[in-house]
Chains A and B, each alone.
Chain A
């Protein structure tokens, strides 16, 4: 536990030791505001809710979360500090979890800083704050899923650029898995049960379910499984590389 806590603190502090963290926070806040208010038609809709704001989060995260996760392991491998980290008396799983939770905390902080949006909508009308809370939770969990994917792909390379590009690609595929674009293409050459399975692993449909304000246990389990699987994959990749 000592090891987890100390590494978690170190990792979180590492985000703020470069201008990147502040740059990220500013870009995230500006873009999430701009998408929600202008593209989403927040005012024109004349409804006191934040769905136009949350609607764009899957797309916003698609670029921004891999930018956070790309450094998780690729940087350690590039600088050689991974050799130090993995010879400390902590398990690979502890290291993977500490790094993941530090990154997730950082994104959670970015998300929390959008609270003026919530204040605005409460000032303008009487929104369903339960639904907004559920949306925040869904958005946070979605970001965690992207991060877990990015963590595994970052462990696979020493180049942060490769980690970023591969993470964006995989996240995009999983995001779109439930969309006609992907499903129609699959239906032509895959049996139906497999197409249904692909549609079921779509990040977007599960996110949209939560965003409607319905916290279904199945959606939560889906996200927990996604995060767990990709973090497990991260430890497998790291342990495997030590055998090479």
Chain B
């Protein structure tokens, strides 16, 4: 259980995080989203107890991070931004040292070390200095460190950053696998993380909470929600294309149409947007198969998170 209550952080005159309140319960994987500089890392740091809040409270597993820091930290596995580690150590020495600092019994330490090393595929670099490792390995060493003591609460700042697609997949399945009885808070700027991993998403913008929703309901806010996209062959004649567009327009409930003209190989892409609450997929599908259009694909869109993200956080991305 993670609780944040009116968390606020000021750096001099600038307000980095302003009155943020939310709760994460066991079994949830909460994705923390926002443009760069929105205050994501600052918030995670306040909850992890590294940065002291200017006002407001945070607690981990019922322990206030300011008044009972050690009890709170015992419940916590934390991957800080950039996955820092002691650079002159080897992953093996590093994990072993942390197991000792956390007071794991030798037998437990051995089994947990074995588990994290295997699941994060660290065996090939176990005895190399951490400062000589690639970014992906460093990130995984940081994750191993956070998971080592099997904590009930995990706070992970960009856990999949710098990983290749296979590694991203591995890390996501690992997090999902352990999520059942854990409280997990991740920050990310990868919308795939939210779509594939999170049960809930918070979007913060300029230090304030602007959205708290499931990824599905978030996607439903996209104008692509319930839209239908047709993929047509590139060698389609202009007249045929115009005919098809006219026919789609005539389908009841279609409000708008987007056409993306082909790069040579991909063909035409037509997206039909429904009017509010209208169902158009079945009708268009029917039409396409009856008229024998040269379609490669007709698919129903569930909504695009990046579209919603841009809508919510506006054009001020990258501003401090």
The interface of chain A, by Cβ under 8 A from chain B, is 2-3, 5-7, 9-10, 13-14, 17-18, 79-81, 83-84, 86-91, 242-244
Q: Take A6-B100, A83-B45, A89-B74 as given contacts and tell me if A242 and B84 are in contact as well, using a CB distance cutoff of 8 Å.
A: no
Which of A6, A79, A242 lies in contact with B97, CB distance below 8 A?
A: A6
Q: Are B80's CB and A80's CB within 8 A? A: yes
Q: Closest 6 A-B residue pairs measured CB to CB?
A: A6-B100, A80-B84, A83-B80, A2-B103, A243-B52, A89-B73
A18–B74 Cα distance when bound, in Å, is 32
Q: Count of B residues near A, CB < 8 Å?
A: 30
Question: Is B306 engaged at the interface, CB distance under 8 Å to the other chain?
Answer: no
Q: Given the complex, which residues of B lie within 8 Å of A86, measured CB to CB?
A: 49-50
A5–B82 Cα distance when bound, in Å, is 27
Question: Is B23 engaged at the interface, CB distance under 8 Å to the other chain?
Answer: no
Q: Are A14's CB and B80's CB within 8 A? A: no
The segment out of B85-93, B198-206, B258-266, B308-316 that lies at the interface is B85-93
Minimum CB–CB distance for A221 against chain B, Å: 31
Q: Given the complex, which residues of B lie within 8 Å of A89, measured CB to CB?
A: 70, 73-74, 101-103
Q: Are A3's CB and B50's CB within 8 A? A: no
Q: List 10 additional A-B contacts (Cβ < 8 Å) besides A7-B101, A81-B86.
A: A2-B101, A3-B103, A6-B100, A14-B86, A81-B84, A86-B49, A88-B101, A89-B101, A242-B51, A244-B11
Q: Given the complex, which residues of A lie within 8 Å of B49, measured CB to CB?
A: 86-87
A83–B85 Cα distance when bound, in Å, is 9
Question: Is B300 engaged at the interface, CB distance under 8 Å to the other chain?
Answer: no
* Per-position binary interface string of chain B over residues 33-72, scored 1 when its CB falls under 8 Å from any chain A CB and 0 otherwise: 0000000000001001111100000000000000001100
Q: Given the complex, which residues of A lie within 8 Å of B101, measured CB to CB?
A: 2-3, 6-7, 88-90
Q: Are B76's CB and A87's CB within 8 A? A: yes
Q: Given the complex, which residues of A lie within 8 Å of B70, measured CB to CB?
A: 89-91
Question: Is B145 engaged at the interface, CB distance under 8 Å to the other chain?
Answer: yes
Q: Given the complex, which residues of B lie within 8 Å of A84, measured CB to CB?
A: 78, 80, 84-85, 145
Minimum CB–CB distance for B78 against chain A, Å: 5
Q: Take A10-B97, A244-B11 as given contacts and tell me if A87 and B102 are in contact as well, using a CB distance cutoff of 8 Å.
A: no
A84–B88 Cα distance when bound, in Å, is 15
